[in-house]
Amino acid sequence: MRLDLFSDVADLTAAIVDIPSVSGEEKPLADAVEEALRALPHLAVVRDGDTVVARTALGRPERVVLAGHLDTVPLNGNLPSRVVGDRLYGCGTTDMKSGVAVALKLAAAVTEPTRDLTYVFYECEEVEAGRNGLKRLAETRPELLAGDFAVLMEPTGGLIEGGCQGTMRVDVKATGARAHSARAWMGSNAIHGAGAILDVLRAYEPTRPVVDGLEYHEGLNAVFISGGVAGNVVPDECVVTVNYRFAPDKSLADAEAYLRRTFDGFEVTVTDAASGARPGLTHPAAAAFVAESGAEVRAKLGWTDVARFTELGVPAVNYGPGEPTLAHTKDEHVELPLIADCERRMLAWLAAPAGPA
Ligand SMILES: N[C@@H](CCC[C@H](NC(=O)CCC(=O)O)C(=O)O)C(=O)O
């Protein structure tokens, strides 16, 4: 499938959405993105796995990175895309193929930017941290991610979302002893034991820490549960996988300590983690972007690669057309006027004289 980067941004978003790209299956979309970018003579293109990087090299004093992931969460009967009124429905419309479409439009349209530009379209953001394409690039080719400022075109509903919350997944294990279910008193049922884990989760009251002026909203949820041996065996093991979302004033060590305290008495194993990022909006480059866009600012509650750029020393913000509360839902959709508005604002920003970076 060919992508026409000179088509209307709404049509381009639909075309991208209609190339399914659940995490790990991004190759057809990465191929289409690579082919479209290689046709643009002002960009040097590098392919690394299913991650595509395109850069201008005009020797400008500043470089801006625009980044977006190509993958989506699993489909939910929500492809192909469809337009209803002013909305485009389909998996990935908000998270984050409308943002990817805007970045691709910019890549084609902005041939003589006032700052050098790097576009990064990468794989496996929606899954465990170890598979993330940007992580691999940061480890193997960090020079490709160098810049003075980065915009992650993640869903923000046209606002600017600062920083991001951290995420940690733990397996909390209840143990028991196997027995014949006809003589259950001989054993100890681990699935029943896991009820105490679920009680803790039900009783959890989310905290809303304010970090550098932005209010985050933490969360503690069971995302998987497994246990059971056979239809006539009292099970000796039940594992509840818990996902903790924590504000960026906490480190990974703080998050792990909190989970171990919360599930004291159970075996707790960390299976995946990614630290958050503070808003960083007082950095001159971020402040200038906020001022130029005129957009309202709030906290990013999901995890995004703003955290990675922050770790790399590149100030970064989230800004994109999708509405974050629709991300990962069956009814995922994006407002078409918001995509056009995002494209217009980004074009205006890139056309303006280079600001502080
Ligand atoms: N390794 C992390 C990756 C999770 C990434 C994902 N990000 C978003 O959904 C951003 C959009 C939004 O603000 O809703 C997430 O937060 O789940 C992991 O596996 O947890």
Residues 286, 246 share a domain? no
Tell me, yes or no, whether 1 lies in a domain: no
pLDDT per residue as tens digits for the range 51-72: 999 999 999 999 999 999 999 9
Of 170-174, 235-239, 289-293, least confident by mean pLDDT is 289-293
Q: In which band, very low, low, confident or very high, does the pLDDT at 293 lie, cut at 50, 70 and 90?
A: confident
End-to-end CA distance of the chain: 38
Tell me, yes or no, whether 4 lies in a domain: no
pTM of the complete model: 0.94
pLDDT attached to residue 356 = 53
Quick one: which of 303, 286, 304 has its CA closest to 295?
286
Token pair listed for 278 = 């503070």
Which of 223, 239, 274 lies at the terminal end of a domain, its last residue? 274
Q: Ligand 1 centroid to 62 CA: how many Å? A: 29
Whole-complex ipTM: 0.97
Q: In which band, very low, low, confident or very high, does the pLDDT at 353 lie, cut at 50, 70 and 90?
A: confident
- Is-cis flag, bond preceding 96, omega within 30? yes
Query: Domain limits at 143?
Result: 9-163+277-350
Of 192-196, 206-210, 233-237, 349-353, least confident by mean pLDDT is 349-353
Task: Strands of 70-159 (E only): list them.
Answer: 82-84, 87-89, 116-122, 149-152
Pairwise pLDDT comparison (19 vs 353), residue with the higher score? 19
**249 among known catalytic residues:** no
Choose the catalytic residue: 71, 154, 161, 343.
71
Ligand 1: which atom is nearest the Cα of residue 274? 1
pLDDT, mean of residues 171-183: 98
Ligand 1: which atom is nearest the Cα of residue 318? 13
Residues 281, 253 share a domain? no
pLDDT attached to residue 354 = 77
pLDDT attached to residue 355 = 63
Number of domains the chain is built from: 2
Residues 289, 219 share a domain? no
pLDDT attached to residue 253 = 98
Choose the catalytic residue: 125, 126, 154, 332.
125
What string of H, E and C letters represents the secondary structure of 219-262? Answer: EEEEEEEEECCCCCEECCEEEEEEEEEECCCCCHHHHHHHHHHH
